[in-house]
Amino acid sequence: MSRAEFRHFLDEQVVQPLYSAHVGLRLIRLPLMEEPSKGGGDPLVNFFTVEETRKYLTGKENRHGKVNIHGANRTYNTIGHACVLMKKELEEYMNYEIGSYCKDDWLQGQALMVRGCDPLPRRRCLARAPRLYLQPLPINESLWRLPDDRNVRWNSYRGFSKCTGCFEMEKEAAKWVTNSSLRADFLIADVLAVKPGEIRIGLDVSVGTGSFAARMREWNVTIVSTALNVGAPFSETIALRGLVPLYITLNQRLPFFDNTLDIIHTAVFLDGWIDLQLLDFVLFDWDRFFCNKKDLNDYMYMFLQLRYRKHRWVVASKSEKEVYLSALLEKPPRTL
């Protein structure tokens, strides 16, 4: 290589890439850092002003320099990245007296979660409970009985139109076990017959009071239900029925390891609003949602590209412009 070729190589392969990286780093705009004495120089810690938020976000070294059971020597608490966009609201949420009762602000915390500040930071205050609390019913009685009103904090609820009959147990008990007038409804017996004896645990990503989990329990299938209190006390009702509510939004990756669920069910949750790129990240079996007819082909493509095996695929009319799309899909084996 001649001297001229060497200089050209340095300019093209070394100098210019380094200079481009230098300019790119200078263009990154980070929040202004405060004195490092409190925040340890971490820009995220320094962004917030409430002391409890800063303490929560500051990385914690293990005692005596030991490595913990996970092989790490330091622990970092996490928050959703959109918390930075809601600094005022988050700091109001984290402004409390340590060791005392938390403010009755669960609705504020949930609003933060659904707008992307998820997960929320932990708080060192005592969660409130209903003033008049009765002992819950035993599991053999609680599945299909509405919990006592005194066991639920009813403040801040304004109703939720997409689940008008969720608290009517007689109507809930008829779901998935009797034929309905809607062609897009599937019976649990038919679904379980697709894989006899293989469906044991699963997840219900829906809006409701846990009736799908209750009915599956009668078929010896354990279901965990996702439940935000959107207009009604869904989470408390599920728990008081003797079932497991998972207080989580669609913002998060599901907290289960790969290939550990046998079935994932969803209803109402994906009723035509979901962005297609977001849907591309949501890889699970699903049951029923409605969408505009003009969007049907897009949704079909998003699911079919995953190469699920179609056991059932039903399209039924909901209105002139909307349809119900119900499907029973099986994830194919993807071995190494």
Mean pLDDT of the chain: 78
Whole-number pLDDT of residue 241: 93
Pick the CATH number of 139-330 from 3.40.50, 1.10.1760, 2.20.25, 1.10.20: 3.40.50
Range of weakest confidence among 17-21, 127-131, 305-309: 17-21
3-state secondary structure the chain: CCHHHHHHHHHHHHHHHHHHHHHHHHHCCCCCCCCHHHHCCCHHHHHCCCHHHHHHHCCEECHHHCCCCCCCCEECCCCCHHHHHHHHHHHHHCCCCCCCECCCCHHHHHHHHHCCCCCCCCCCCECCCCCCCCCCCCHHHHCCCCCCHHHCCCCCCCCCHHHCCCCCHHHHHCCCCCCCCCCCCCCHHHHHHHCCCCCCEEEEEECCCCHHHHHHHCCCCEEEEECCCCCCCHHHHHHHCCCEEECCCCCCCCCCCCCCCCEEEEECCCCCCCCHHHHHHCCCCCCEEEEEHHHHHHHHHHHHCCCCEEEEEEEEECCCCEEEEEEEEECCCCCC
Q: Who has greater pLDDT, 224 or 134?
A: 224
Question: What average pLDDT does this structure show over 203-222?
Answer: 92
**Domain ranges within the chain, ordered by starting residue:** 36-114, 139-330
Q: Who has greater pLDDT, 40 or 173?
A: 173
Question: What average pLDDT does this structure show over 212-217?
Answer: 94
Whole-number pLDDT of residue 223: 95
pLDDT digits (tens, 9 = 90+) for 236-269: 999 999 999 999 888 877 788 877 888 888 876 6
pTM of the model: 0.71
Whole-number pLDDT of residue 31: 37
